Chains A and B, each alone.
Chain A
Amino acid sequence: MKKIICTALLMAVILFLAVAAGSVEKETTDTHSLSILVYITGVTAGSPPYTALAEGATEFASENQNVTVKIYEAGFNQAQWEEQLTSLVATGEYDLVLGSNPSLPEICVSIGKKFPNQKFVITDAFMEGNPQIRTYLYNQYEQSLFLGYLAGLVTTSNMSHANKDLKIGFIAAQEYPLLNKHMVPGFLDGARMVNPNIEVDFRVIGNWFDANKAADLATSMKNAGVDVFAAIAGGASQGLFKVAKEQGAYIVFHNTNEYKSAPGYVVGSGSMEQKKLTKEILKDALGGNIEYGIASIVGAQEGYLRFIADDPAYTNNLPDSIRVKFDAFMEDIYKGKIAYTLPAL
């Protein structure tokens, strides 16, 4: 009985405090400056697109005095994102929320209903028609396509760790629509432009952190004849680097320069120009030039996806014959000369 009374009292006190505190609303910030929230749907470390997003925003803020940036790492639990972002938006401290994740626009729609003045710019996502949201979708099919083409060249080559099996590998932390519908098919399509008989061995770790499992998977795939790998695996990618270094296998990496992670084995790195895009977005935002409600797809032609060919590792790791073919292919990609149909998401 005593306990119940105590509990009731405690709850009453907390309720009172809450109501009292809730009545003091925050005042809105000055409109001449720009306050940005970079909402990371995960953690920056080990995730190059997020790192680039955060760096781009911080650099922009250091270049412009009246811009402030708060980086918020939300962790991997999707279900908590909406709640967290709502609470951040609820502070009213941010003029603009910047994020990068396919599922963010949806969350922003429902948050936007509660806070109609809040603006969102989301990259790596696609949504049209919401007056609070501007999206940019990276053409990941395209990046996978050219990385796949390179993988195809390598697996059919006589490089020291390449074998006769027409097999390339793709290790993913978890399955999600963009991965299943753009990246893996793009990777395969690219490889088949080299040799239509190439197969992709696609395997899933189950989480973003079990690097040892990734290593075991990579070993198993190598035993199954895979000689070139791609990975979208977050921190668990470390396992793939280890296997490549120890057992000899090639890696083409998405989105970021990873030549140094397994020197001699990472034969190609794509680059997602997230930092560039971020700075451009913020420049527009500061100038008030963002058109909300619009969605664009950005790729190699627009300059937001790139293959990192200027790293010495690229030149050192690949024989001339392959580089000549691939450079020509990339030339066509940049010019938009390679024909493909973008699969629906």
Chain B
Amino acid sequence: MLENKNKKVLPTLREGAGSLLIVLIALSAVIALSLILSKNPGKTLGYFFLGPLQSRYYFGNMLNSAIPLIFGGLGVSLAMQSGNFNLGGEGQIYGGALITTLCTIYFAPLGIVGALLALFAGASTAGALAGFSGFLRMKWNTSELITSFLISNAVLLVVNYLIAGPFLDPSTSLIATRKIPETFRLSALLPPSNLSTALFFALVAVITVHIYLYKTKSGYELRMTGLNSRFAKYGGINTKKFIVLPMFLSGFLYGLGGGFAIYGTYFASIKEFSAGMGWNGLAVALIAKNKPSAVIPAALFFAYIEAGARSAMLHSDVTFEIAAIVQSIVFFLISSEVLLTLFEKKRRPA
């Protein structure tokens, strides 16, 4: 028993050391960039690292920006665990959010039931968008990676049209739909920040996905299909189902992310409000290595870097885009096996 425990702890420690190294390299990148680009590197760095923690407001906003990343990260993780790629997060969030907004307004008389229905409808629409890519792969082996990307790009444009056209709220000069009724808006957690109780729903989603993947028959079958689909098929698992279902669920989670962004933060579908959320969700899943439990720290880390860069831009003389550079460096490092194995000399053959 004790031996068993040691076996588990050691790799965890090694992995921890690897992650620490990545964080250290990322931090040195921030320092280097500040020294090169800023006239006042000390101030820039101070705001970069402490800015997001400086006040309830900044901290709340950072947490809030992590929420759609958590949903997106979960969605991508789920698809990747089943061996599918979902590159359509952008369109799925945006489309899901629009449907959620419209349904909420339409179902308003139904009260809480209406809200749930609206969330479900929005998420299902997003799920259907992704599921269609899964269907194409199942049916004709069309690369779901490419189709989900193409569909998403087309959907973005159609949603743009719907928001700016038929569903435009004429009473505002924003290009946006009408706002959802006040009663449906999630309550704020750290006012005046944007953080809302959507955070709890994100945590619930993490737990649900974790339980689904690791504690249920369907989740087990999904993972088996992803690890080795020939084995899964041989074992009697309906592998075709696990091309479509995980893609659907992946889109569904993205759509929920969009829905909760509406319920918690934006209250209306504003044109292009979700730009970048889908890609960042993908990034979070990759950092988390598709483990639902790791999606939370990954999303927080991602949100922290963005919030830090924004804070440094607000208060000092650097541009926001240094966030992209730091994130990309983290990306470069995060998946490199060598970093993990620096701490364990012996490597397994591939």
Contacts and interface: CB of A to CB of B under 8 A. Distances in A.
Interface of A: 2-4, 6-7, 10-11, 14-15, 17-19, 21-22, 72, 75-80, 83-84, 86-88, 90-91, 102-103, 105-107, 114, 125-126, 174-178, 206, 345
Contacts of B8: 2
Contacts of B55: 18, 21-22, 90
Contact of B173 (A11, A77, A345): A345
Contacts of A178: 173
A78 B50 contact: no
27 contacts: A2-B8, A2-B9, A6-B16, A7-B293, A7-B296, A14-B59, A18-B59, A21-B53, A22-B54, A22-B56, A22-B57, A77-B273, A77-B275, A78-B176, A78-B273, A79-B272, A84-B314, A86-B192, A87-B61, A103-B172, A103-B175, A106-B173, A106-B174, A175-B164, A176-B164, A177-B173, A345-B173
B297 A7 contact: yes
B157 A83 contact: no
A79 B270 contact: yes
Q: Which 10 A-B pairs have the closest CB atoms?
A: A79-B273, A18-B59, A22-B56, A103-B174, A102-B173, A79-B270, A22-B55, A17-B53, A114-B192, A103-B173
A176 B271 CA distance: 10
Interface in B86-119: none
Given A22-B57, A77-B273, 14 more contacts: A22-B59, A77-B272, A77-B275, A77-B276, A78-B270, A84-B314, A86-B57, A87-B310, A90-B57, A103-B172, A103-B174, A106-B172, A175-B164, A177-B175
Interface in B269-324: 270-276, 293-294, 296-297, 300, 310, 314, 320
A106 B346 CA distance: 61
A83 B271 contact: no
Interface string B120-154: 00000000000000000000000000000000000
B12 interface: yes
B248 interface: no
B204 to A, nearest CB: 15
B314 A87 contact: yes
* Interface-central residue, B53, B157, B271, B275, by most chain A CB under 10 Å: B53
Given A177-B173, A177-B175, A90 B310 contact: no
B192 A105 contact: no
Nearest to B171: A106
B239 interface: no
A3 B297 CA distance: 10
B274 to A, nearest CB: 7
Nearest to A11: B300
Contacts of B175: 78, 103, 176-177
Interface in B202-258: none
B194 interface: yes
A137 to B, nearest CB: 10
Q: Interface extent on B, as a size class? A: 35 or more
Contact of B50 (A6, A21, A102): A21
B167 interface: no
Contacts of B173: 102-103, 105-106, 125-126, 177-178, 345
Contacts of A75: 320
A126 B272 CA distance: 23
A11 B276 CA distance: 25
Contacts, number: 96
Interface in B51-69: 53-59, 61
B270 A83 contact: no
A103 B191 CA distance: 23
Contacts of B331: none
Nearest to A20: B53
A27 B274 CA distance: 35
B184 interface: no
A78 B272 contact: yes
Contacts of A80: 273
B201 interface: no
A18 to B, nearest CB: 4
A206 B61 contact: no
B192 A10 contact: no
Interface in B1-41: 8-9, 12, 16
A3 B160 CA distance: 41
B324 to A, nearest CB: 12
Nearest to B320: A75
A72 B53 CA distance: 21
Nearest to A17: B53
A91 B297 CA distance: 28
A15 B172 CA distance: 37
Nearest to A114: B192
Nearest to B156: A206
Contacts of B276: 77
Contacts of B56: 18-19, 22
Interface in B172-199: 172-176, 191-192, 194
A77 B54 CA distance: 24
* Interface-central residue, B164, B174, B176, B300, by most chain A CB under 10 Å: B174
A87 B57 contact: yes
Nearest to B176: A78
Contact of B174 (A6, A78, A114, A206): A78
* Interface-central residue, B59, B191, B274, by most chain A CB under 10 Å: B59
A167 B27 CA distance: 57
B12 to A, nearest CB: 5
